[in-house]
Amino acid sequence: MNAMTQTPAPNPLLTDWTGDFALPPFATLTPAHFRPAFDAALAAHRAELDAIAANPEKPTFDNTIVALETSGKDLDKVANVFFVLAGADTGEAIEAVERDMSPLLARHSNAMYLDRKLYARIGDLHARRDSLGLTPEQARVLDRYNTRFVRAGGALEQAAQDRLAEINERLATLGTQFGQNVLADEKSFALILDEADLAGLPDFAIAAASAAAEERGHKGKYAITLARSSCEGFLQFSDRRDLREKMFQAWTKRGENGGATDNRALIAEMVALRGERARLLGFATFADYRLDDSMAKTPQAARKLLDDVWGRAKLKAGVERDALQEMIAAEGGNFALAPHDWRYYAEKLRKERYDLDESEIKPYFQLDKMIDAAFETATRLFGLQFKPVDVPLYHADARAWDVTDASGQHVGLFIGDYFARGSKHSGAWMTSLRDQQKLKGDIRPIILNVCNFSKPAKGEPALLSFDDARTLFHEFGHGLHGLLSNVTYPLLAGTSVSSDFVELPSQLYEHWLEVPEILQKYALHAKTGAPMPKAMFDKLLATRTYGQGFATIEYTSCALVDLDIHALPDADKLDVAKFERDTLAAMNMPAEIVMRHRLPHFQHLFSGGGYAAGYYSYMWSEVLDADAFEAFSETGNAFDPATAKKLRDFIYSAGNLRDPGEAYVAFRGRLPSVEPLLKKRGLADASVA
């Protein structure tokens, strides 16, 4: 057979994946496969949706809801693989596909949720729900479908639906561009240093900077990048105030440097479009729309929590600031504390007060040991076991574990991708290649944690800061939420819960990092293998509330600005930089602290918008997680079996089977108290530094 008559090879994205764990065939995938695979999968799903909508039979749960739940198999497969790569191992070809597909995927979503015939069937079932003989899970699925369609505009008149469709497509395009702009700014900057510029940096930071420089083609030099673990470490240790300022400026100016990657005009347009969408759906502002389907219910409820914490945090941050300024004066410094100074002097003061130096702590937090610590916690709480497996993945840095339960049954596959690189977006997140469900058989999940820790020099262990270790536990908490999911219907699986509840499993899991049984076993020195000395361990735990005024201001300012910008009744002439300045000034933001995520690079809000008007969720969930861990503390056992079983049954494995408030009460027996949060952050007595 000559080349002209050869049958084209099938697109690997659209074949049955028969390898280990039914993983995607990463080895044979190229960016060129995605567009034709998306086109075919979208067409197939559209045909399935049309058939459901046109079904002449009276709507039933099976011919409408189950049919929806079992549709779009190929689209799920293709999209899951693509967005893993677009986040964790992207490049020009993937970014081009992402720009092309974002509006097309939004158009497809519009066609589904604005299909009047399809919504009529769902609405009919919802109206008759009490007479259908549904199980509680089926009733929940039906209710969630009805809510989704109504909130998407399924019940609106045609003209309003047409405008919604235009808005959604444009927002999808803008969100993609926003994220790619931030990544471009991060990739284009590195602070290249000579040996003379390294004063104050500990050995592990120098080794990581050397590896980063070599990766960027500057062998023999040292590079500080805009990966958070690299940047913050430099700000914490470098004696060079001029270089700290230069690094801090680059970090805070991402997305605001003018030119093609400047995000300010994109933000203004997105905020205006979100407000218009909310008004079309009957809400005064986007914040009202967003929180209507959350645990908080209203922006006022979210703001009350943030305002209560903000006042206490400002008092504590003021005490912290004064102590740092006194240290500067004692050293003979004739300057006012600036944002690029805070981490440096806070670390020096911590060392002075507690005889505790981050450079002495960090060798005890080896990445591999912290992974083992997170796994053992899951073993002791939930009976899970983790076995490394050698399977083909999308990048050499990624690794995988087969997760089994106490009886040896397969629970899911867990993939960890921990190191920063130029092809990866910043931050840390959990995602999936496959979600758990039972509707099409016992489908087991494939869950990923993606982080951006500094990669060590060859042959050296990867070392984490204590905050990095906390991030690892946090993301693994999300991972367990996906791995332990035990529902029938895909719509309810894993992390498919409201955004102010989804952080509960992740933030709660952070508590076990500080449990002495875990920390003492796995905090082993990278060179000597010796466990962390008890005196150091005690001092580390004693500093848990140190610097919490600063940390709380950094976070809470972001959450308040988020609520404010999405509560604007009219954003058509929004000046993003002025809005940020004016809002912070009205809040009396301390001049020495900058928002953890300034608006031009605030990807939680504008790169897809998953947390738009919802960044408060971390604090809301922290009320839940602090109270939830008290349930274990009250038993005197951080691994109490009965409490762990309730935690698994009603939180980690329950997906969206229940309203979040009902789920929490089922676990705890009552709604949470805010007092454990204030205690955890050291804000119960805000005057104490």
Q: What is the CATH number of domain 3-113+115-155?
A: 1.10.1370.40
Contact, 499 vs 610, CB < 8 A? yes
410-419/399-404 β-pairing: antiparallel
What's the pLDDT score for residue 686? 54
What is the 8-class DSSP label of residue 395?
Answer: S
What's the pLDDT score for residue 15? 94
The full DSSP string for 427-458 is S-EEEEEE--BSBTB-BPPEEEEEEEEPPPPT
How large is the C-alpha radius of gyration of the chain? 25
| Residue range(s) in the chain whose domain bears CATH number 1.10.1370.40 | 3-113+115-155, 359-410+460-542+616-689
SS3 82: helix
In the structure encoding, which two tokens stand for residue 72, read together?
């779009």
What is the 8-class DSSP label of residue 527?
Answer: T
Q: What is the average pLDDT across 410-423?
A: 96
What's the pLDDT score for residue 636? 97
Give the model confidence (pLDDT) of 456-505 as tens digits.
Answer: 988 899 999 999 999 999 999 999 999 999 999 999 999 999 999 999 99
Query: What gap in Å lies between CA 60 and CA 237, rounded to an integer?
Result: 64
Give the model confidence (pLDDT) of 318-356 as tens digits.
Answer: 999 999 999 999 999 999 999 999 999 999 999 999 998
Q: Name, in order, each residue with C-beta under 8 angstroms of 420's C-beta and a sequence gap of 6 or more.
A: 225, 227, 229, 230, 426, 452, 453, 454, 455
Query: What gap in Å lies between CA 75 and CA 227, rounded to an integer?
Result: 32
> Has residue 544 got a pLDDT over 90?
no
CATH architecture observed for domain 359-410+460-542+616-689: Orthogonal Bundle (1.10)
What backbone torsions phi and psi does residue 464 show, to the nearest 5 degrees? -115, 150
Q: Name, in order, each residue with C-beta under 8 angstroms of 538's C-beta and a sequence gap of 6 or more.
A: none
What's the pLDDT score for residue 3? 42
Q: Does domain 263-356+543-613 have CATH number 3.40.50.300?
A: no
What's the pLDDT score for residue 4? 47
SS3 565: helix
What's the pLDDT score for residue 399? 98
Q: What is the average pLDDT across 555-578?
A: 95
Q: Name, in order, each residue with C-beta under 8 angstroms of 335's C-beta and a sequence gap of 6 or more.
A: 328
The full DSSP string for 567-630 is T-S--TT--HHHHHHHHHHHTT--TT---SS-GGG-HHHHSS-TTTTTTTHHHHHHHHHHHHHH
| Residue range(s) in the chain whose domain bears CATH number 1.10.1370.10 | 263-356+543-613
What's the pLDDT score for residue 1? 38
> Has residue 2 got a pLDDT over 50?
no
What's the pLDDT score for residue 572? 83
Amino acid identity of 495?
T
Give the model confidence (pLDDT) of 430-464 as tens digits.
Answer: 999 999 999 989 999 999 999 999 999 888 999 99
Q: What is the average pLDDT across 161-185?
A: 96
> Has residue 608 got a pLDDT over 90?
no
First to last CA, the chain: 79
Q: How many residues would you count in the chain?
A: 689
CA torsion angle for 647, 649, 652, 653 (degrees, to 10)?
170
In the structure encoding, which two tokens stand for residue 257, read together?
């440097």
Q: What is the average pLDDT across 637-646?
A: 98
- Mean pLDDT (the chain, rounded): 95
Contact, 562 vs 616, CB < 8 A? yes
Q: Is residue 459 exposed (0-12), middle (13-18) or buried (19+ Cβ within 10 Å)?
A: exposed
Q: Name, in order, each residue with C-beta under 8 angstroms of 461's C-beta and a sequence gap of 6 or more.
A: 366, 367, 368, 526
> Has residue 416 got a pLDDT over 60?
yes
Q: Is residue 219 exposed (0-12), middle (13-18) or buried (19+ Cβ within 10 Å)?
A: exposed
In the structure encoding, which two tokens stand for residue 82, read together?
């693509």
SS3 369: helix
Contact, 234 vs 573, CB < 8 A? no
- Nearest CA to 100 among 34, 184, 182, 183? 34
> Has residue 209 got a pLDDT over 70?
yes
- The catalytic residues are 475
Give the model confidence (pLDDT) of 127-139 as tens digits.
Answer: 999 999 999 999 9
What's the pLDDT score for residue 359? 86
What's the pLDDT score for residue 7? 58
What proportion of the chain, given as a percentage, has pLDDT over 70?
Answer: 98
The full DSSP string for 173-200 is HHHHHHHHHHHHHHHH-EEEE-GGG-TT
Structure pTM? Answer: 0.92
Give the model confidence (pLDDT) of 392-413 as tens digits.
Answer: 999 999 999 999 999 999 999 9
What's the pLDDT score for residue 266? 97
What's the pLDDT score for residue 6? 56
Report the number of secondary-structure helices (H) and strands (E) in the chain.
27, 7
Q: What is the average pLDDT across 253-274?
A: 97
What's the pLDDT score for residue 689? 44
Query: What gap in Å lies between CA 479 and CA 325, rounded to an integer?
Result: 41
Query: What gap in Å lies between CA 454 and CA 462, rounded to an integer?
Result: 7
Q: What is the average pLDDT across 372-391?
A: 98
Q: What is the average pLDDT across 24-32?
A: 95
